[in-house]
Amino acid sequence: MAGPEAAGAAAAAEGSEAGNGGRDGYDGKCVFCRIARREEPGTTLLPCEDEDLVCFRDIKPGAPHHYLVVPVKHMGNCKTLKSEHIPLVKRMMEVGKAVLQKNNFSDLNDVRMGFHWPPFCSIAHLHLHVLAPASQLGFFSRLYYRINSYWFITAEQLIERLQTENAAS
């Protein structure tokens, strides 16, 4: 790992808070913050109907359709989220579904959406992986985006965990 990913991994290991990166929610060292502000010319943003989120193709696709949905404002990884972030996670999922449909993928039962659980995330900015068709994940992608693993949590599992934590509080 080199460059922005190494810096992101270091920040993930330190455990960024689920808040903003700076006063304005921007961290210039974060590649996803730069992408959200259109400062990374090699990354094309896909149409997104939520002004607080951006969507783009993963640079190492694990499926024919592999998109990342990212908040515009810098937020820590999924482990830092609280119950008040449930609506954000749900909006991220809706954006992921909409992008799939806009790209002519309609079988929403064959989709995997989720997050890598720290310390297994390379970028310390919250990002939802949207992969489809899940039935066509290759060998390594099935491992890397494996449901019920120590390193990957589905969006539904994250929401359930956040609701449970809220009920316990």
Q: Does residue 2 fall inside a structural domain?
A: no
- Identify the domain containing residue 74 by its residue range: 58-168
Q: Does residue 159 fall inside a structural domain?
A: yes
Q: Does residue 45 fall inside a structural domain?
A: no
Give pLDDT tens digits for 20-38: 456 578 888 999 999 999 9
pTM for the model = 0.85
pLDDT at 10: 38
Q: Does residue 84 fall inside a structural domain?
A: yes
Based on the structure, what is the number of domains in the chain?
Answer: 1
Element spanning 132, H or E: strand 128-132
Buried b (16+ CB within 10 A) or exposed e, 83-111: eebbebbebbbebbbbbbeeeebeeeeeb
Q: Does residue 16 fall inside a structural domain?
A: no
Q: Which of 66, 116, 125, 127 is catalytic?
A: 127
Task: For residues 127 and 136, give the distance between their C-alpha atoms in angstroms, rounded to a whole number.
Answer: 22
The mean pLDDT of 118-136, rounded to a whole number, is 95
Q: Does residue 93 fall inside a structural domain?
A: yes
pLDDT at 72 over 60: yes
pLDDT at 60: 94
Give pLDDT tens digits for 1-18: 333 343 334 343 334 445
**Whether 127 is catalytic:** yes
Q: Does residue 23 fall inside a structural domain?
A: no
pLDDT at 6: 38
pLDDT at 25: 87
Q: Does residue 105 fall inside a structural domain?
A: yes
pLDDT at 44: 96
Q: Contact, 74 vs 91, CB < 8 A?
A: no
pLDDT at 13: 37
**What CATH number does residue 98 fall under?**
3.30.428.10
